[in-house]
Structure 1
Amino acid sequence: MTELSRLTTVEAASSLRTAKVAILPIGATEQHGPHLELRTDTTIATVLARMLATDLGADAVLLPPIPYGLSEHHLPFAGTITLRPQTLRSLLLDVFESVAHHGVRRVIVLNGHGGNIDAIRLAAREARRDSKLRVAHVMWAQLGRDVVDREAGPSWRRNHACEIETSLAMVLDDSLVRPSELDVAPLTGPRDPFTEPVSASVDVPIWFDEWTANGALGDPRRASVERGQAIVEVVRARAAEFARSFVADER
């Protein structure tokens, strides 16, 4: 695996000449309830990105992670740091432009935070239009949606610090988890079938304290290494399969 930040400029020149794709992890610094650390999204994205870079070998170069994202909906809870949408979009475009300057024409953004999705998609479209750079967005929860749905509990509010994300953390970096703090999320506010996760049909900005009293969703008590491993195995295999076809596509 080639990790750009651990190279000298001479070594980077050699690696970038042969690399076919750059992998950019992005997450967030935001609350994840009482049982997960603020770095959870960034750590999950970074470990999955490192796995993908390992699977691709010399074809890939792993970029340093972006530890901030669009997290304004978590600001009611302490520790959350957020960017504005235009800031994240500009940051991504600057990274893409730098990668293209060094001759790499493909980027895979491996994303650990759902709030980043819109900005990444827009930046990817702009990069192709203006720089002829091909950018793909990979979000673990989307790539492994069928397994996530199978492993999730019956809660109608999940997808953040729930049994799924906590299980993933247990596998990828168990130091993220405070086992003594695992508890069912105390949900707040009335249920709205149009805007509730996981299957919202209407998009309305919701602040997280309107959904939960402690910042978590679902039932983290159901988290397990076995659940996490089932998700990681599928996501890792599918990410590698996609990446190989993405690299081979000469459009």
Structure 2
Amino acid sequence: MNDLATMVAEEAARALETARLALLPIGATEQHGRHLTLETDYAIARAFARRLAADLDGDAVLCPGLPYGLSEHHLGFPGTMTLRPETLMAILRDVAESLAAAGVRKVLVVNGHGGNVDAVRLAARTLRRDHGVIMAHVMWAGLAADVIPERMGSERYGHACEGETSVAMVLAPHLVRAERLAEPAAALPILPHTVPHAPRVDLHYPYHQLSASGALGDARLASAELGHTIVDTAYARALEFARAFAAAEEV
């Protein structure tokens, strides 16, 4: 695995010379209810990216990741830290431009936090237009979006729920405080057609207005079996894309 953080400069030069793709894990530092630690989104993204780097071997380099993201909607709970959208977009642009200067013009952002999606998309559009850098973006929840709803036992889910907790059990089990799994907090009232995970109306709620505990869903329903169902689906699709993305002459 070409893990840039563990290399000296001469080793990095050789890895970057042959690599066709850079992997950049990003996440967040934010509350995840009573049973998942603040690093959950980043730890999941990094574990996912490390798997990709191992399977892609010399075709990819794994970049040091970013454990902060856009988490202003979680600031009502202790421990949460957030970037501004323009900060995240600037970081993505700067890292991508640095990679391009080293000869790697394709970047795959491996994201663990839904709040980052809009900023990554905008940064990617700017990079392609202004710098000829191609940035793609994957997140486990999007990759397995057809599988997840079939297995959820809650109407509201998507954060520290049975799905995310199950994924953590598989990719980063140290994140899960199993002794703290408890009956979910009562759902707070929200406007019609705005229910997570797939609202019909786009209305941005801070999480303290969605749940008293900061979590959605019922994490007691989490299991390694469910985690493998989600992770295996998401990973197979991510790897298929990453191999094609690395090999493509034009995108």
SS at match of 2:147: helix
Supply the distance in 2 between the matched residues of 1:201 and 1:208 (Cα, whole angstroms): 18
Supply the distance in 1 between the matched residues of 2:35 and 2:90 (Cα, whole angstroms): 32
Structure 1 position 191, deviation (Å): 4.1
Matched with 2:205 is 206
Contact map agreement 1:188 1:209 (CA 8 A) in 2: no
Supply the distance in 2 between the matched residues of 1:37 and 1:15 (Cα, whole angstroms): 33
SS at match of 2:22: strand
Contact map agreement 2:20 2:60 (CA 8 A) in 1: yes
Supply the distance in 2 between the matched residues of 1:185 and 1:193 (Cα, whole angstroms): 21
Amino acid at match of 1:142: G
1:81-160 equivalences under 5 Å are: 81-153=81-153, 155-160=154-159
* Offset from partner CA, 1:3-31 (integer Å, 9 cap, x none): 00101000000000000000000000000
Identity of aligned residues (%): 55
Matched with 1:242 is 241
Supply the distance in 2 between the matched residues of 1:59 and 1:193 (Cα, whole angstroms): 47
Q: Figure out how many residues of one structure are paired with residues of the other and give that number.
A: 250
SS at match of 1:100: helix
Amino acid at match of 1:80: T
Structure 1 position 195, deviation (Å): 1.4
Structure 1 position 219, deviation (Å): 0.3
* Offset from partner CA, 1:86-106 (integer Å, 9 cap, x none): 111111111111010100011
Supply the distance in 1 between the matched residues of 2:184 and 2:192 (Cα, whole angstroms): 19
SS at match of 1:137: strand
Amino acid at match of 1:119: A
SS at match of 1:91: helix
Supply the distance in 1 between the matched residues of 2:6 and 2:111 (Cα, whole angstroms): 21
Supply the distance in 2 between the matched residues of 1:76 and 1:188 (Cα, whole angstroms): 16
Amino acid at match of 2:15: S
Amino acid at match of 1:230: T
SS at match of 2:2: coil
* RMSD, matched Cα: 1.0
* Offset from partner CA, 1:16-59 (integer Å, 9 cap, x none): 00000000000000000010000000000000000111111110
Structure 1 position 194, deviation (Å): 1.8
Supply the distance in 2 between the matched residues of 1:229 and 1:242 (Cα, whole angstroms): 19
TM-score by length of 2: 0.97
Supply the distance in 2 between the matched residues of 1:25 and 1:62 (Cα, whole angstroms): 8
Supply the distance in 2 between the matched residues of 1:192 and 1:184 (Cα, whole angstroms): 24
Matched with 2:232 is 233
Contact map agreement 2:96 2:105 (CA 8 A) in 1: no
For structure 1, the residue ranges without an aligned partner over 5 or more in a row are none
Supply the distance in 2 between the matched residues of 1:219 and 1:192 (Cα, whole angstroms): 21
TM-score by length of 1: 0.97
Contact map agreement 1:187 1:211 (CA 8 A) in 2: no
SS at match of 2:17: helix
Contact map agreement 1:193 1:200 (CA 8 A) in 2: no
Amino acid at match of 2:168: A
Q: Which runs of 4+ in 1 moved over 4 A?
A: none
* Offset from partner CA, 1:92-149 (integer Å, 9 cap, x none): 1111110101000110000000000000000001000111011101011000112212
Amino acid at match of 1:10: E
Structure 1 position 192, deviation (Å): 3.1
Amino acid at match of 2:43: T
Amino acid at match of 1:93: R
For structure 2, the residue ranges without an aligned partner over 5 or more in a row are none
* Offset from partner CA, 1:54-74 (integer Å, 9 cap, x none): 111110000011000000000
Supply the distance in 1 between the matched residues of 2:61 and 2:201 (Cα, whole angstroms): 38
Structure 1 position 234, deviation (Å): 1.1
Structure 1 position 2, deviation (Å): 0.7
User: Which is worse superposed, 180-189 or 194-203?
Assistant: 180-189
Supply the distance in 2 between the matched residues of 1:193 and 1:44 (Cα, whole angstroms): 32
